Chains A and B, each alone.
Chain A
Amino acid sequence: MLSVNGLSCARGERTLFSGLSFSLGEREWLHIQGQNGAGKTTLMRALVGLSPPIAGDITWRGEAAPSPDFFRDLIYLGHHAAVKEELTPLENLRFSAALDGIELSERDALAALIRLGLRGREDLPVRVLSAGQKRRVLLSRLLVRPARLWVLDEPFTALDVKAVAQLSELIVAHVTQGGMAILTSHQTIPLANGKTLQVGA
C-alpha cells in the first residue's frame, strides 16, 4: 500500500505543487496527468526517493519510504534509456538484474528480450539500435524482476503501435495479479481500475 500525504515539491525556487495526497492499493493504478512542466517527473522522482520533497511524507506498507524494503518492491523507469550503449541488450539486462541481486541466466534474459521483439538484436551493441528498441531493452526489466510497484515515466515514448499494445497488456497483467502501477502519459490508457491525478492544475 502506497500512501502519500501532503506532498510538496519544488524545482529550483519555484513550487510546482503542494499538499498532494493520494493512496494506491493492490490492483490499482494511477495515471498522473498534467501539462508539460507541471511537475509530473518531479513527482515521480520524489515518490521513488531520487529527489526529496520539501514537505509531506510517503509511506509504503505502513513504513516510511524510501527504505530498503521499498526499493526491493519497486521498479522505476525514467526518461533516460538507462542502458549502456557499448553493451548488448543481453549484457545490459543481465547487469541490471545483478544490481538487484538476481542471477539472471542467459536463457531467461534472452526469452524476455525476444518477448519484447528484440530477437536477433540481443548480441548487437545498443548503440546501433533505434530509440524504440533501446526503450524496449529498458522495458524488458519489467519481465525479469518481480516488483509490486511499477513507476513508469512516459513509458510509451518512442514505441510503435504494437509495442504500445504489448506494454499495455503487461501493465494490465501486472495490476490484475495484485500489483500497482503509477504512470505518466499524454496518451489515454485503456486500462480498468485506474485513478487519475492532475498535477499543477
Chain B
Amino acid sequence: MSAVLAIIRRDLLLAVRRKSEVFTALFFFIIVVSLFPLGIGPEAALLRQIAPGILWVAALLATMLGLARLFAPDHADGTLEQMVLASAPLGLLVAGKIAAHWLTTGLPLVLLAPVLGLQFGLEADALGVLVVALLLGTPLLSLIGAIGAALTLGLRGGGLLLSLLVLPLYVPTLIFGAGAVEAHISGMGAGGHLSLLAALLALAVFFAPWAATAALRIALE
C-alpha cells in the first residue's frame, strides 16, 4: 500500500514541477467552454439547453490531452521497468498512476465546471447535478484512458491512435453524464443517469487497472 501512496505522491510532485502540462489541459477546458456562448450568442434558453453537452465534451477532450503522457515519460526513462520489477504488484502501481492522473486533470475540471456553467445560465441545482456527474464521470475518463495510453505506448503516431481508440469508449460516459443534467433540467430527475455512471465507474475501477497492466507488460517486451 505504501508503494501506491508513494507513486501518487511522486506523480503529484512531478505535476507541480511541470506545471505547464496541468495548466494546458485546464486552460483548454476553460477556453473551449467559453467559446461557445461567444459563438452562439446570448440566447439564454438555447445556452442552458446545450450547456451540459458542451461542458462534458470539453472535459472529455481536456482529459485526452494529457493521456498520451500518462505512461510515456516513465517508459522513456526506464522507471516503468523498475515498476515492473518492484516487489509491489504492477496493477496497484498502475492504479496509483491513474489516481494521480485524475487528481491532476479530472479533479480541477470538476471544481471549475460550476464556475463555467454560470456562463450558460445554469441554475444552482443543475450545477450541483453537473458536479456530481463529473465527480463520477471524470475518474471513469482517466480509467478508460489509461487502457488506451498503455495500448499505444511506444507506438509512432500513438497520440492519434489513442484518440481513435479511447473516444468511442468515452461515449457511454458522455451520454449518461450530459444526460444527468438534461434530465434534471427537464424535471425527470438525474438519479437513473447517476446510478448508471456509478455502476460504470465501479466496473472500470475493477477492470481498467488490470487491463492497462496487461497492455503495459506487452509494450515492455
Contacts and interface: CB of A to CB of B under 8 A. Distances in A.
Interface string A58-71: 00000000001001
Interface residues of A, number: 29
B121 to A, nearest CB: 42
B43 interface: no
A49 B84 CA distance: 9
A98 B86 CA distance: 9
Interface string A91-113: 10001101111010000000000
Contact of B78 (A51, A81, A101): A81
Chain A interface main SS type: loop
B17 A99 contact: no
Interface stretch (B2-10, B59-67, B158-166): B2-10
Given A50-B220, A87-B10, A87-B17, A96 B87 contact: no
B88 A99 contact: yes
A100 B81 contact: no
Contacts of B83: 99
Contacts, number: 78
Contact of A80 (B6, B17, B18, B78): B78
B176 to A, nearest CB: 36
B88 A101 contact: yes
Interface string B40-84: 000000000000000000000000000000000000111101111
Chain B interface main SS type: helix
A80 B14 contact: no
A74 B82 CA distance: 11
Which 8 A/B pairs are nearest by Cβ-Cβ distance? A80-B78, A98-B6, A82-B78, A86-B17, A99-B86, A51-B221, A72-B87, A95-B10
26 contacts: A48-B85, A49-B84, A49-B85, A50-B85, A71-B87, A80-B76, A80-B78, A80-B81, A81-B77, A82-B77, A82-B81, A82-B82, A83-B79, A85-B77, A86-B14, A87-B14, A95-B6, A98-B2, A98-B3, A99-B3, A99-B6, A99-B82, A99-B87, A100-B86, A101-B88, A103-B2
Interface of A: 48-52, 68, 71-72, 74, 76, 78-87, 91, 95-96, 98-101, 103, 125
Given A50-B85, A81-B78, 12 more contacts: A50-B221, A68-B87, A71-B86, A74-B85, A80-B76, A80-B78, A82-B77, A84-B79, A85-B77, A87-B13, A99-B93, A100-B86
Interface of B: 2-3, 6-7, 10, 13-14, 17-18, 76-79, 81-88, 93, 220-221
